[in-house]
Amino acid sequence: MSATTSSDPLSLRFESLARSGRRALVTYMTAGHPDPVQSVALMRALQDGGADVIEVGVPFSDPMADGPVIQRSSQVALEHGVGFAQVLAMVHEAALSIPVVLFSYLNPVLAAGPEVLVRASEAGVHGVLLTDLPVGADPEREAWIGAGPLAFVRLVAPTTPVDRMREIARHGRGFVYLISRLGVTGMQANVASDLPDSIARLRTATDLPICVGFGVSTGAQAQAIGRLADGIVVGSAIVQAAERGIDAAHALTVELRQALDNI
């Protein structure tokens, strides 16, 4: 399905960005980090700083796709007793005007029960992205999520062959999340050299907007990637800034916004 025919808030946001020739800034934060109260303030600060979409991470005890920064933030959130219900309560309390995408591993979602997608939608969540549920891994549960009220955002990796990219795009909504390089989440000094090639191949496979994440942390990287893709996802850098304070995370968001708008 194509982004231009959908009317969900995520697709509408990307359509309006495309009309004005701007790139999407997607910022990640772990719900419950630095602590549950500050998390709500952080969501608002990211929105105020110019984020287009907020990815809200659901903490998990064994985050195999995450590097040290997000691992640590998940651990902190779990120590604060943050579970699925608390994550949704934070999103609800933040009452954002921009779309929210839940970023989770599958197990906490399964544990939250069959009503979880509807509850998330009612709390103000618009999309869901599951790190360990690749296309084809579990058709039954993928169909359950695909038929629910949230846009099911799917991931593409540098190792994904182009015919599989097409398959993934067919099952995705909202945007396609392109992992910029091999490895786990975390900040990197350089943009992967094969990224332009990956983006070009993905373009041939989908009309959905393409957002690039994993390793993006600076304004310069945002610009380099923003020239090729429809948006960027910044995770570990935001989480690390949030450890210094909400103001630091806000300042980084503003810097990334300006960089993207000055391409």
Nearer to another protein, 146 or 196 (CB): 146
Q: How far is the CB of 61 from another protein (least distance, A)?
A: 4
Nearer to another protein, 44 or 119 (CB): 119
- Measured at the CA of 16, the angle between CA 13 and CA 22, to 5 degrees, comes to 100
Interface region with another protein, contact rule CB under 8 A, candidates 8-16, 23-31, 100-108, 232-240: 100-108
95 makes contact with another protein (CB under 8 A) = no
Residue tagged 């604060």 (tokens) = 80
Interface region with another protein, contact rule CB under 8 A, candidates 4-12, 102-110, 220-228, 249-257: 102-110
89 makes contact with another protein (CB under 8 A) = no
Nearer to another protein, 143 or 200 (CB): 143
Interface region with another protein, contact rule CB under 8 A, candidates 60-68, 195-203, 237-245, 246-254: 60-68
Catalytic: which of 15, 52, 55, 167? 55
78 makes contact with another protein (CB under 8 A) = yes
201 makes contact with another protein (CB under 8 A) = no
11 makes contact with another protein (CB under 8 A) = no
Active site residue 66: yes
Which residues are near another protein by CB under 8 A?
1, 60-65, 67, 71, 78, 83-84, 105-112, 131-139, 142-143, 146, 155-161, 164, 167-168, 170-171, 179, 182-184
The catalytic residues are: 55, 66
